[in-house]
Structure 1
């Protein structure tokens, strides 16, 4: 494991609240610097290729289809109803660049989430709250309205939330 007071600065290239929280949980201090890019203009067929290309994103894969942030109430409802009593996979990536040496290390990780039946009133509440439009696939695993309907997670919860701790630690060590 990398020292929690490393002799280097960490810059998180993401505005994701979940990624900030996970990196802080890992004991790191960091600065946030994000790029102003249109992620929707970058397309790849395979989710693993897409997340590596975006380098700071995660995508949800449902029945072979990549799902990013829903763009309408109709799409959000369709996403969440689809997960109800079913499952989806989350694919996320991490890229670490050592600015001093130029060495760049990257990888992807995935996890599956299995859901119980999600009642319509819960779906309505999630959509009304608006958070569903800010997350890939339209659902936050850790949200108090979602969590009771998560039957199982195969893989790590931090991967589902947007930043695999194990992969991040591995890539930090490799980049040094």
Structure 2
């Protein structure tokens, strides 16, 4: 580990690594498994915040040195329905057909844990999809892009052409809200 490392990122997501790199911080990636299961009656915003917090705290537990640990989670919400990563083509088709021609919310929570505290920020972005044809949903699945994405799509990839409007943070839809993440990290580094 370089003594220049400022924090750890508790995420294997290449998109989160890219976004955190954009902010200019020096970080190392920690791999830690956190079960992603919504509890009965848990509101979507509480669920995504809990997952981000759990990931940051799990990272803190395995970190080789004492540095802040950043955790994040993103979910796609349509009404009260949480659309997570699809299990197969039928699951992805169901999600994308539900999103077709409608506005949904993408909720990304980011958490920064230190031994003393864990701060969490939630960013909700409204995303509108144009009407999708069944054939283009199937063709999109064949690209492999939707397989590991909440809501079965990645706005930064091919699915960007499905989006007719966005209200809020584009980077949060990709997986890490730049503004809120930067403020969390700055605050933690100032306390060190």
In the alignment, which residue of structure 2 is the partner of 1:16? 13
Backbone CA RMSD of aligned residues: 1.7
**Structure 1 consecutive aligned stretches of length 4 or more whose deviation exceeds 6 Å:** none
Shift of 1:68: 0.8
Unaligned runs of 5+ in 1: 1-6
Shift of 1:83: 1.3
In the alignment, which residue of structure 2 is the partner of 1:51? 48
Query: What does 1:18-33 correspond to in 2, within 5 Å?
Result: 18-33=15-30
Which of 98, 122, 126 pairs up with 2:136?
122
Which of 25, 31, 36 pairs up with 1:34?
31
TM-score normalized by the length of structure 1: 0.87
1:39 is paired with a residue of what secondary structure? coil
Distance in 2, Cα, partners of 1:14 & 1:95: 12
Deviations 1:9-43 (A, max 9, x none): 22110111111111111122211102122213x52
Unaligned runs of 5+ in 2: 53-71
Distance in 1, Cα, partners of 2:120 & 2:5: 18
Distance in 1, Cα, partners of 2:149 & 2:129: 17
Distance in 1, Cα, partners of 2:78 & 2:46: 16
Q: Aligned residues, how many?
A: 166
8 Å CA contact 1:105–1:174 kept in 2: the answer is: no
